[in-house]
Structure 1
Amino acid sequence: MTDLTIETTRFREWAGGGLGPREGQWECDYSQWPAWHRAVLDWVVGRHPRGWSEAETGHVLYAIARDNDAQYLVREIRKRRPGTLRFLARAALAHGESDARWQLAVELGHLSGDDEAQALLFALSTDRNEYVRRRAIRSLAGLGVRAAEELAWAAWHRDDEDQEWARMSALECLRELESPRFDALLAEALQDTRPFLRQHAERLRAAVAQKSGRSDPAFESEA
């Protein structure tokens, strides 16, 4: 039995030993993270993913998903084995948890000039999970991919229980891409009744005004 299997099994046994449903960042309470990190990274560095079994791929994706607070594993895999990161993203699209998919979307956004990474991000931008879609679109915008503008625009208008957060992210994408649509949506967000979206829009307005060297009328009126 490999260290990867041993350490993953240990975590699963620990996770299954609690009483009642787990909430919040419960994975952080696990005391054997260093050993699990080592086992996963030794496995990733030492073996080409073409030789992995479905179960072994599942172990790595499960570890990434559980590491969603620190995001250490996925970041190290991208640094050490970017090809394996792409492999894992393909696998996660088929059967990975959303907590693995969104982290992979973030790290794929660091692979500039990589056509396969961009293709994977486009696939993740249509994910069934809103947070995965959001992070994929943000990564595409960060890479300067112009198609991210349409994706952000669509996210703004899509009905979703997390639309407040989706709209905040859409504004960031449009701002980063210097989209001509940004000003209209910023004005709409400033009038929105949802407090976090409105506050985010106010911060963006102030940041844009500061960058351009203009005063923000809202702050002038309060002086």
Structure 2
Amino acid sequence: MPWHYNNKLRSSEEVASNPSILLKLSELAVASAEAETKWQLAYQLGSLSNQKEQAEAILLHFVTDADEYVSRRALLALGVLESSQAEKLAVRAWDTGYEYQRIATLSVLRDTESAKLAEYVTKALKDGREYLVQNAHEVEGT
């Protein structure tokens, strides 16, 4: 039986154990409407520091996905990879106004050791939404 990237027989962890398969499936998933598949692949791509350029190129497609969760998972993975694009994309995510995009912004700015972190922690505290404020306090303590 041929394997297809949405096949439930393999978990994302199994795919992640083989970077070349992960990269190939991720490339194929870019054009897919399968948000469930894409966010899991985006999450796993964040672990490919040895193939950073290839992973980053795919994540830059995922970060513009219409599905908010796919976009957010891709942004977080770009932060983990310390992508040169991460800070700019994190600021753009903040500007959406969505609480969870803002939480992701804080994580990315922390992961990339951005000079903008303190500014966005202050903005998060002023925003006042419960989970955003909790995350602001967490990143502030790191």
How does the TM-score come out when normalised to structure 2? 0.89
Match of 2:8 among 53, 60, 63: 63
Residues paired across the two proteins, number: 141
Q: How far off its partner does 1:193 sit?
A: 2.7
Unaligned runs of 5+ in 1: 3-51, 65-71, 209-223
Match of 1:94 among 27, 31, 37: 31
Match of 2:13 among 75, 83, 86: 75
Match of 1:147 among 82, 85, 97: 85
Asked if structure 2 preserves the Cα contact closer than 8 Å seen for 1:62 and 1:97, the reply is: no
Asked if structure 1 preserves the Cα contact closer than 8 Å seen for 2:87 and 2:112, the reply is: yes
The amino acid across from 1:119 in the alignment is A
Tell me the residue number matched to 1:173. Answer: 108
| Aligned residues with identical type, % of pairs | 34
Q: How far off its partner does 1:90 sit?
A: 1.7
- The separation in 2 between residues aligned to 1:168 and 1:113, in whole angstroms, is 27
2:50 match: secondary structure: coil
Match of 1:130 among 59, 65, 68: 68
Q: How far off its partner does 1:185 sit?
A: 0.8
- Describe the superposition over 1:6-30 as per-residue Cα deviations: whole angstroms up to 9, x where unpaired: xxxxxxxxxxxxxxxxxxxxxxxxx
- The separation in 2 between residues aligned to 1:84 and 1:193, in whole angstroms, is 42
Match of 1:202 among 115, 137, 140: 137
Asked if structure 2 preserves the Cα contact closer than 8 Å seen for 1:140 and 1:148, the reply is: yes
CA RMSD in angstroms comes to 1.8
Asked if structure 2 preserves the Cα contact closer than 8 Å seen for 1:62 and 1:100, the reply is: no
- The separation in 1 between residues aligned to 2:47 and 2:32, in whole angstroms, is 23
**Relative to 1, partners in 2 of residues 1:203 and 1:111: Cα closer, same or farther, differing over 3 Å?**
closer
- The separation in 1 between residues aligned to 2:138 and 2:27, in whole angstroms, is 36
Unaligned runs of 5+ in 2: none
The amino acid across from 1:203 in the alignment is E
Match of 1:117 among 35, 51, 55: 55
How does the TM-score come out when normalised to structure 1? 0.59
Q: How far off its partner does 1:144 sit?
A: 1.5
Residue correspondence of structure 1 range 154-165 to structure 2 within 5 A: 154-159=92-97, 163-165=98-100
Higher relative contact order (CA 8 A, sep 6+): 2
Asked if structure 2 preserves the Cα contact closer than 8 Å seen for 1:61 and 1:96, the reply is: no
Asked if structure 2 preserves the Cα contact closer than 8 Å seen for 1:61 and 1:88, the reply is: no
2:30 match: secondary structure: helix
Asked if structure 2 preserves the Cα contact closer than 8 Å seen for 1:86 and 1:117, the reply is: yes
- The separation in 2 between residues aligned to 1:84 and 1:203, in whole angstroms, is 35
The amino acid across from 2:34 in the alignment is E
- The separation in 2 between residues aligned to 1:76 and 1:135, in whole angstroms, is 19
Moved over 6 A (4+): none
